[in-house]
Amino acid sequence: MPGLILAAASSNSGKTTLSLGLQRLLQRKGVRVTPAKCGPDYIDPAFHAVASGQTSLNLDPWAMRAEDICLRSQAHAAHRDLLFVEGVMGLFDGAAGGRGSTANLARTLKLPVFLVLDVKGQAQTAAAIAAGIRDHDKTLSIAGVILNRVGSEIHEALLREAFGAISMPVVGAIRQSSALELPSRHLGLVQAGEYEALSDRIDAIADHMDKDIDLALMLDIARQQSNLPSVATSDASPLRLPPLGQHIAIAKDAAFTFIYPHILQDWKEQGASLSFFSPLADEEPDKGADAIYLPGGYPELHLDALSTADRFKRSMKQAAAENRTIFAECGGYMVLGHSIIGVGGEEKETLGFIPLTTSFSSPKLKLGYRILSPAAGDLFSSAMTAHEFHYATIEWQGACDPLFHATTATGAPLQPMGQRVGSVCGSFAHIIGLKPS
C-alpha cells in the first residue's frame, strides 16, 4: 500500500488547507484515501473525514510505540489505496529530541515526504530552505515540494528554475487566493461540525488547486518510495487504554467534540459498548451505562445552554449518587466544577461535582505533552501519555484529592493534575494512551 506525508517548514504554511484539497481531488479520481494526522490533534482529523469520506487516525510518535503506529496504520488503511498523513507544525518540530515530530513519524512509517512551502515574498531562497531541510536528515525522503501562495507566472518560473537547480521535484505551485482560507478560533480551525457547507468549501479548494497540482506525479512517487513496515501478525495488537466501564455513555455535540477515534476503537475491541448523548440538547446518558465520559471541547461557547440543561444535570447528579464512574477531560472537566466564567466575565453554574471554578476572562495558553500516573482511586492503574492544550485558567480550586501525578514530556515534575470526589474525576489533560515502557 502506498502512502505519503504532507509536511511543512513551519506552521501556517497552508498545510491543512492543501491537505483537504488534495484528499478531495484524490477522492474524485477514485483513489480510496485513508487519512491520518501526526500528533495530538482533534480538529484537523474531523476536516479530513469530510474531505475524504473516511475517519482520520491520530498517529503520535511521542505517545505511541513505533510498532503500535505501524499496527494502527495497517489496520486503518486495510483494503484502501493510499495512506495520506498530514504532519504537524514544522517537519522537525516536536518534543525534546524531535520525538513526536512529523520527521519522526516519517522515519517510523518509511513514507515519502512532500513539503509545503509558503513562498510568498520568496523565490530562490525557498529552494535553499528546501535543500537545507533535505540535507538536515538524510534518512528522510523529501520526495517533492508544493509551493503555496505563488504570486504570478514569473514568480512560478523563478521558483521552478531554483528547484530544478537542486533536483527537487515541484509537484504543485498553488496560486494565492481567498478560496484557500478557512475560519479559525483560539484552539485552531472552527470545528468541522460547525462549518456550514464545509464539503462545498473543500470542493472550492480542490477546484482552485486542480490546475496547479500534478497528482499523477505525486502518486507515482508515493508508489515508488513507500515502504510501510510489515509488523502485523494474527495475534499482534497495540497497547490499548482499558475502558472506563462495560457500557460507556459519551457526551458528543458542539460542546464536547475532542474524542480520539483510536481510543473508542480500543474500548470496543476490549468488549465495551458505547452510546452517545448530547448535553446541549438536554439529553441524559443511557441509564444502563456504568461509566460516563465528558470529553473536551468548547463548553465556554455554550454556557447558557449547558447551565439550563436541567434534564442533563439531574441525570448526571443521579449517576453520581449511584456511584457510577464519571470521567472528564479539559472542557468536560470544567463542566464538572461549580461554574465557568465566560470571555465577557459572565459566570454560569455547571454540575458542581468538584470544587472548581474556571475562567476565560484572562485567557492563558497551557500547552504540552504530559506523562500521567494515577494518584487516587482505581479507575486508572498504569502510567499514560497525554496532552494539555487550553486557554482556561483556574479561578478557584478547593481542597480535593488529585487525580494524577504529572510530568512534562522530558520528565520534569509538574503540580498534581485534576480532582477526584467519589466516583467523579477529571483533569485538563487529554489522554492519548498507555505509556510505552
Q: pLDDT for 310-334, tens place per residue?
A: 999 999 999 999 999 999 999 999 9
Domain identity same for 372 and 419? yes
pTM of the entire predicted model: 0.94
Residue 95 structural domain:
3-225
Domain identity same for 291 and 397? yes
- The model's confidence at residue 183, banded by pLDDT at 50, 70 and 90, is low
Mean predicted confidence (pLDDT) in 243-252: 98
Mean predicted confidence (pLDDT) in 270-281: 98
Q: For residue 269, tell me if it sits in a domain.
A: yes
The two beta strands, 291-294 and 247-251, are: parallel
Domain identity same for 190 and 266? no
Asked if the model's pLDDT at residue 186 lies above 60, the reply is no
Domain identity same for 198 and 296? no
Residue 49 · residue 35 · CB < 8 Å:
yes
Better pLDDT: 395 or 96: 395
Q: For residue 259, tell me if it sits in a domain.
A: yes
Q: For residue 144, tell me if it sits in a domain.
A: yes
- The model's confidence at residue 98, banded by pLDDT at 50, 70 and 90, is confident
- The model's confidence at residue 197, banded by pLDDT at 50, 70 and 90, is confident
Q: In the beta sheet, which residues pair with residue 82? A: 33
Q: For residue 232, tell me if it sits in a domain.
A: no
Asked if the model's pLDDT at residue 217 lies above 90, the reply is yes
Mean predicted confidence (pLDDT) in 109-118: 97
Residue finishing a domain among 167, 193, 225: 225
* pLDDT for 1: 73
Alpha-carbon span 163 to 126, nearest angstrom: 8
Domain identity same for 215 and 364? no
CATH number at residue 255: 3.40.50.880
* pLDDT for 384: 98
Domain identity same for 219 and 277? no
Q: For residue 95, tell me if it sits in a domain.
A: yes
pLDDT, tens digit, 9 for 90 and up, residues 347-356: 999 999 999 9
Domain count, the chain: 2
* pLDDT for 348: 97
Which residues touch 291 (CB under 8 Å, ≥6 apart)? Answer: 243, 244, 245, 246, 247, 248, 249, 324, 325, 326, 327
- DSSP letters spanning 8-67: ESSTTSSHHHHHHHHHHHHHHTT--EEEEEESS-SHHHHHHHHHHSS--EEE-TTTS-HH
- The model's confidence at residue 233, banded by pLDDT at 50, 70 and 90, is low
Asked if the model's pLDDT at residue 358 lies above 90, the reply is yes
Alpha-carbon span 187 to 86, nearest angstrom: 18
Q: In the beta sheet, which residues pair with residue 116? A: 8, 146
Domain identity same for 85 and 13? yes
CATH number at residue 186: 3.40.50.300
Q: For residue 240, tell me if it sits in a domain.
A: no
Q: For residue 369, tell me if it sits in a domain.
A: yes
pLDDT, tens digit, 9 for 90 and up, residues 58-88: 999 999 999 999 999 999 999 999 999 999 9
Alpha-carbon span 380 to 259, nearest angstrom: 18
Percent of the chain at pLDDT exceeding 90: 87
Domain identity same for 209 and 252? no
Residues acting as catalytic residues: 330
Domain identity same for 171 and 265? no
Domain identity same for 205 and 252? no
Percent of the chain at pLDDT exceeding 70: 96
Q: For residue 34, tell me if it sits in a domain.
A: yes
* pLDDT for 250: 98
Domain identity same for 47 and 107? yes
Q: What is the mean pLDDT of the chain?
A: 94
Mean predicted confidence (pLDDT) in 31-44: 95
Domain identity same for 158 and 19? yes
Q: In the beta sheet, which residues pair with residue 7? A: 115
Asked if the model's pLDDT at residue 182 lies above 90, the reply is no
* pLDDT for 102: 97
Single-letter amino acid, residue 4: L
pLDDT, tens digit, 9 for 90 and up, residues 154-167: 999 999 999 999 99
Q: Read off the C-alpha cell for 384.
A: 499514560
